[in-house]
Amino acid sequence: MDLLSSLKMAWQSLIANKMRSFLTMLGVIIGVGAVIAMVALSQGTASGITSRISSMGSNLLTVSAGGSSGPIRGISTSKLTNGDVEAIKNLPLVKYVAAESSINSATIAIGSSTWTTTVDGTAPELMTIKSWDTVQGTFFTASDVDSVNRVAVLGSTVVTNLFADGSSPLGQVIKINGLSFNVVGVLSTKGSSGRDDPDDIIYIPLSTAQQRLLGSTTVKTINVQGTSEEGLTSLKEYISTLLRQRHRLAATADDDFYVRDMAEILATLEDTTKMLTFLLGGIAGVSLLVGGIGIMNIMLVSVTERTREIGIRMAIGATTRAILTQFIIEALLLCFIGGIIGVLMGWGTSELLSMFAGLTMKVEAWLVAVSMGFAVMIGLFFGYYPARKAANLNPIDALRFE
């Protein structure tokens, strides 16, 4: 009997018991769907975080206050100052430097419209470091920083919520915590990564933020872009040596600051997400294994129910190979159809979670291919024993079976 005939008979056998076939496939459906949804969540989250870190700039070091001294690591009363920023600018291997001091949950108002967002005081070099351009107007200049001008550049999310009528924000006067600022530019859209929206921000000159809103000359973060990736290690050492000298730290004292290399963070993140992907995929794969056991169980029941049929087919000339092929095809067909439904369910679940839960999901072609391949392998592995049992039946005993 050829393969096409075996496939046709397997299909007829499955549709003859529709409910039992569906319940048998259910384990595979849930397993494949769970694998796709869980791995898509892991991949999407990793992709979102990676793109967020990459958007911070290339060849980048970030310097923040707080070191390992004190009872709790990372807690420190130390401060980074404008003097530290100027000193770092004069180091070798430095291309750009941009300090930041932010005001979280600042209240923004224009007319009857209000919005709460982050206001970040910084320098014009930050946009060069982040490769971020304006789509309307311009970013503020070094002259605005020197003159402590009250000018602001808005992220696209802020524009959408403050200017819902579609009017141009350029030249408009907004209030930030009650203080008037003139809008001089609108940034291009970066795109949100799940719940993290880089476009929900307002940039103002660092000097203005310090003197008008914060009342402090300290900075929270110093972004340092090196001239090359190869020189980052040396630059990191230069910065550490400089700040220890400026902060008058004893040789045995711990740093009261820390310097982070974005490339190192990204590499660590990639390793972590790979482990997370394997873990989530493995957990979901257990349900596929359980589905395979269910298929073997039902196939054994099917062999018992169809013993006389098998005996009749053998009596009229069906070979052991033909019987084996038919039952293996039935198992493979169950897993293949279940796998397709599982892929659709996993894909749909990913889309729903992305739309309504704000999660970043990423379903890739390799994930679908691996899931389907694993489902077919489950069918082949767990379908072989029942198929072999059917093929090895004695025709005479099978015909006598009641």
The pLDDT of residue 36 is: 85
Q: Is residue 255 part of a domain?
A: no
The pLDDT of residue 70 is: 37
Among 100-109, 191-200, 293-302, 349-358, the minimum mean pLDDT is found in: 191-200
Q: Phi then psi for 71, rounded to 5 degrees?
A: -70, -25
Averaged pLDDT for residues 134-143 = 95
Q: Is residue 288 part of a domain?
A: yes
Joined together, the tokens standing for residue 357 give: 């839960």
Regarding whether 209 and 108 lie in a shared domain, the answer is: yes
Total-model pTM: 0.61
Q: Is residue 373 part of a domain?
A: yes
Nearest to 380 by CA among 344, 309, 312, 332: 332
Averaged pLDDT for residues 134-141 = 95
The pLDDT of residue 75 is: 45
Regarding whether 149 and 106 lie in a shared domain, the answer is: yes
How many domains, the chain?
Answer: 2
Averaged pLDDT for residues 381-397 = 75
Averaged pLDDT for residues 77-97 = 89
Q: Is residue 59 part of a domain?
A: no
Give me the chain's average pLDDT, please: 83
Regarding whether 227 and 137 lie in a shared domain, the answer is: yes
The pLDDT of residue 98 is: 95
Q: Is residue 98 part of a domain?
A: yes
pLDDT level of residue 397 (50, 70, 90 thresholds): low
The pLDDT of residue 337 is: 87
Q: Is residue 161 part of a domain?
A: yes
Range of the domain at 46: 3-52+268-400
Regarding whether 382 and 321 lie in a shared domain, the answer is: yes
pLDDT surpassing 60 at residue 401: no
Averaged pLDDT for residues 302-315 = 74
Q: Is residue 172 part of a domain?
A: yes
Percentage above 70 pLDDT, the chain: 87
More confident residue, 301 or 173: 173
The pLDDT of residue 297 is: 80
Percentage above 90 pLDDT, the chain: 34
More confident residue, 294 or 112: 112
